[in-house]
Structure 1
Amino acid sequence: MRIKNDLMLSPRRFLPSLSHLQAFEAAARSGSITLAARELNLTQSAVSRQIKALEEQLEVELFHRERQTIRLTTGGETYAREIRDALKRISTASLNLRANPLGGTLNLAILPTFGARWLAPRLPAFLQAHPGITLNLMTRLTVFDFRAEAMDAAIHHGRGEWQGARTQLLREEYVMPACSPTLKAQYNFQQPGDLRRAPLLHLTTRPDAWERWLARYGALSEHVQGMLFDQFATVAQVTRAGLGVALLPTFLIEEELASGQLVPAIDLPDKGVMKNAEAYYLAWPEERADHPPLIAFRDWLLRETADDLRAHGSPS
């Protein structure tokens, strides 16, 4: 029924052939019939005929033709952008099918550091348990958009409230003020408020973390300033280098703490660990809820994170 309805809304005369769309997209992107012909391994006249056939089918002029040059019309520019996205999705779907003819492909958007430090070391176990599933990973720092990209699911950090998505809590986040041993010795922090004497490093995705931490420990929390970083990997690196004190997720700096590259910035009974207001979630669009590879991956993730959720139930 869904297919019939879609066809009724999109009559065949508005479904151009793929070869016509490829010729148009290549010419639009390169701004040249010659370059498009070279890219598609066709003659210039063949590309011109295909674009002309597309214009006749749509009854819309896509290019301004001026002597030996072409220039997109306003409508043609918008159409080219949308066609480019559609062709990319078709290509991605075809590659996925070729890689796994049984259709067991999961396209997953992940946060880069979470993916590299937590997920990647565990993936061999998942793939070994599910040999028929092909997992494609795409890093995303910003919030995903299931409507615009061909993604089956995403692992993201937030409050689990994203429009058009179902979510599952994976693990909560606990942060602690960490710094290099040299910087800790230099400032000799005794009280939580002493941390303000050192440069405080901030993540743009957690802009109020320092204010909340200072307020939690009874220290002055207004007008907190410091350097901003958009990626965890960068702020962790500069913290190790002694540039300042950063509030870092404890589970992502386990290696640095074990090796002594980073240390708790202040000697408090709880090491200054604070539960963040946001957490890590698996999110997926409603229409992919029954996708078998997603179900298998979600069940596996929940088993992997179950111990973390049980072990971190006390700090707040």
Structure 2
Amino acid sequence: MITRLPSIASLLAFEAAAGSGSFAKAANQLCVTPAAISQQVQSLEIHLEVKLFDRFKTGVKLTRAGQSYLVSILGGLEKLRLAQQQIVQFNNLEILTITALPSVAQKWLMPLVLEWMDINPKIEVRVEASHAKINFNHSASDMCISFGDTGYSECFKDKLVQDSVCVVASPELLNKLAQPLALKKVLELPMIHVDWGDDNCNLPQWQDWLDATTGEPFPIQAGPRFNLSSMAIDAAVQGKGLLLGQQLLIAEEIKLHKLVPLFPTQLPLGEAYFLIYPQRTLDNPNAKNLINWLKAQF
């Protein structure tokens, strides 16, 4: 019976290779060479006295023993990562990290965070922008702003707001049209498009707005296309076209008269925004204060 534990380095190499199906990809993930991954996996196989991978020219594939071993060790690695993150949090109670989608972080979250830091000058809040779901066992984030709440089964999930979109344009663009503005003429202007990829079904598109507003067929005009809402907002401010903009993200531009709402029709997004955080976050009183303050803003 084998009682001596293998090295952490060999377990991490095995985990990365199993997840990627390639020693080269695992090496890139762990910032080492493919030869180092191969050596670590080989040493683990010798230690366990079992073959973990079948090797092919195109990559590697877990054997039945390898599949079983992977399932067994993943839980242990997760617990080690969680313990490490908790130690970091305990040592940095005055540093909080919150993650959000890039456009949400830039246009909506940052102004709120700066306001909270003015009220709490001894606390540092770090805002990280990411499209990825946050795995709180792997991440130093204390909380995240998520579009929808799927994928966070073991976390607290507080619904903040369900945003909606409306049509806006820059004053400079509208000045090119005769006054008073006619719907038909406005809808002949270029239309800025936002592509959310897999989440497009949750973002109202121009056809949705036209169907809800006009009651008659209007063509969808060509225009710039972006995969970030913040870039689309910047283009609208520069007068590059009409924008079907999220109201939370364009509030400042409307306040400063950089963008003008044109029609009363508003369409809700398919998901709400949630504030999500793990149990460990509640152990930090500063994090709890930030959570309560953010929730009170809506």
Larger radius of gyration: 1
Query: Residue 216 of structure 2: which of 213, 217, 220 is its match?
Result: 220
1:252-306 CA-to-partner distances (Å, cap 9, x unmatched) read: 3344334443333x3xxxx536252443221345x55854455333212112x14
SS at match of 2:108: helix
In the other structure, the counterpart of 1:31 is: 34
> Is 2:294 the counterpart of 1:301?
yes
Report whether the alignment pairs 1:246 with 2:239: no
Mapped pair 1:18 → 2:16: no
8 Å CA contact 1:172–1:275 kept in 2: the answer is no
Mapped pair 1:196 → 2:205: no
> Per-residue displacement from partner, 1:168-201 (whole Å, max 9, x unpaired)?
2223424331222232122447344543312222
Whole-Å Cα distance in 2 between the matches of residues 109 and 208 of structure 1?
A: 24
CA 1:100–1:136 in structure 2 vs 1: closer, same or farther (change >3 Å)?
A: farther
Cα pair distance change 1:127/1:261, threshold 3 Å? closer
1:14/1:58 contact within 8 Å kept:
no
Identity of aligned residues (%): 24
CA distance in structure 2 between the aligned counterparts of 1:181 and 1:234, rounded to whole angstroms? 18
Q: 2:159 aligns with which of 162, 169, 185?
A: 169
Alpha carbons of structure 1 residues 109 and 56: separation in structure 2 relative to 1, 3 Å: same
Name 1:74's counterpart in structure 2: 61
Aligned twin of 1:118: 108
Distance 2:217 2:281 in 1: 43
Cα separation, partners in 2 of 1:301 and 1:20, compared to 1, 3 Å: same
The number of residue pairs the alignment matches comes to: 269
Letter in 1 for 2:190: P
Change (3 A) 1:177 1:106: same
| Alpha-carbon distance between aligned partners in 2 of 1:115 and 1:124, rounded to the nearest angstrom | 12
Are 1:106 and 1:135, in contact at CA under 8 Å, matched by a contact in 2? yes
Decide whether aligned partners of structure 1 residues 195 and 280 sit closer, same or farther in structure 2, where only a CA change above 3 A counts. farther
Name the SS for the 1:198 alignment partner. coil
Q: Conserved in 1, the CA contact under 8 Å of 2:106 and 2:230?
A: no
Tell me, yes or no, if the aligned pair for 2:209 and 2:267 is still in contact at 8 Å. no
- TM-score scaled by structure 1? 0.62
- Opposite residue 296 of structure 1, the aligned amino acid is N
Do 1:210 and 1:224's aligned partners in 2 also have CA atoms closer than 8 Å?
yes
| Paired residue secondary structure (1:167) | strand
Distance (Å, rounded) in 2 between the aligned partners of 1:212 and 1:251: 20
Contact 1:187 1:198 in 2 (8 A): no
Between the aligned partners of 2:2 and 2:125, the Cα distance in structure 1 is 34
Contact 1:211 1:224 in 2 (8 A): yes
1:235: Cα distance to partner?
Answer: 0.6
- Given that 2:204 and 2:268 are in contact with CA atoms closer than 8 Å, whether structure 1 keeps it comes out as no
Q: Structure 1's 214 and 91: CA in aligned 2 closer, same or farther, altered over 3 A?
A: same
Q: Are the structure 2 counterparts of residues 289 and 19 from structure 1 closer, same or farther at C-alpha, using a change threshold of 3 Å? A: closer
Q: 1:214 to 1:256 in 2, by over 3 A?
A: same
Rounded to whole Å, the distance in 1 between the matches of 2:127 and 2:277 is: 14
CA distance change for structure 1 residues 149 and 296 in 2, over 3 Å: closer, same or farther? same
Q: Secondary structure at the match of 1:253?
A: helix
* Residues 94 and 119 of structure 1: CA distance in aligned 2, closer, same or farther (over 3 Å): same
